[in-house]
Every structure is written in structure tokens, then in C-alpha cells.
Amino acid sequence: MSSEAAEEQPRVDPQEAQTAIKHYAAMQSAPRFPLHLAVEIVSQNGACAAETQNISANGVLFAMDRDVPVGSMVDFTILLPGEVVGSRGDVQIDCRGRVVRSFEDGGRRGVGVVIDEYHFERA
């Protein structure tokens, strides 16, 4: 057995992964906005830094240096600058979602997340 095969991978419920894939098609139909914002993603494997590549009403595409398996639940906070959303102050959005896509992109990982829950806060 190779050292890579011996490396323990997080367990993902196959039914959750299948549900995430079904929602991916719907997520792709929403208009996307190319916003590049630094965020921290928290999953069952811990926290890691990421950068948004685009944001839609349904989800977010992140660029990051670590893989997060499809079907994983993640929490993250997006801080939208006031000038982007037309407000006096920044807008904080606390989100919970599921990874529906993960792919290699120029030496980094592209991770697509559908947003299941969100809450707006005044920053």
C-alpha cells in the first residue's frame, strides 16, 4: 500500500454527496459576480484560508490550497465591502453550506459550495 493510499481520507456520506451534486446544476444557473475576497473556511478537517472567485445567490467558488471533499459541510463568513453593495458600512454574511465541486486549477484547488443557510450581520 502506498503512503498516499494509507493517508486517511475524511468519510463523506454517499447520499449527502449525491444530493450536493444534484444541487450543483441549479447553482450553475444563477448569475455570478466576480468578487475576490479573503475568507476562512471551517470544515470537519479544521480551518483553512481561501479566496472567493465568484459569488452567486446560490453559492460561492473558492480558490484554496487544500482540498475539501465533495459533500463536506463548511462554515464561512463573507465580508462584503460597503462600496460593493451600496451601503455605508461593510456587510457580513455568515454562511453554512456543502461542497458540490472540487477540482485542480493552476496548482490550487477550486471548491464550489452551495449555500444552505446564511445570516446577515452589520459589520
Domain parsing of the chain, residue ranges: 32-122
Burial call 10-37: b when 16+ CB within 10 Å, e when fewer: eebeeeebeebeebbeebeeeebeeeeb
**pTM for the whole thing?**
0.73
pLDDT digits (tens, 9 = 90+) for 42-101: 999 899 999 999 999 889 999 999 999 999 999 999 998 888 888 888 999 999 999 999
Q: Model confidence over 29-41: pLDDT tens digits?
A: 678 888 899 999 9
Architecture per CATH, 32-122 = Beta Barrel (2.40)
Q: Nearest to residue 52, comparing CAs of 73, 80, 27, 83?
A: 80
How far apart are alpha carbons 39 and 74 in whole angstroms?
A: 12
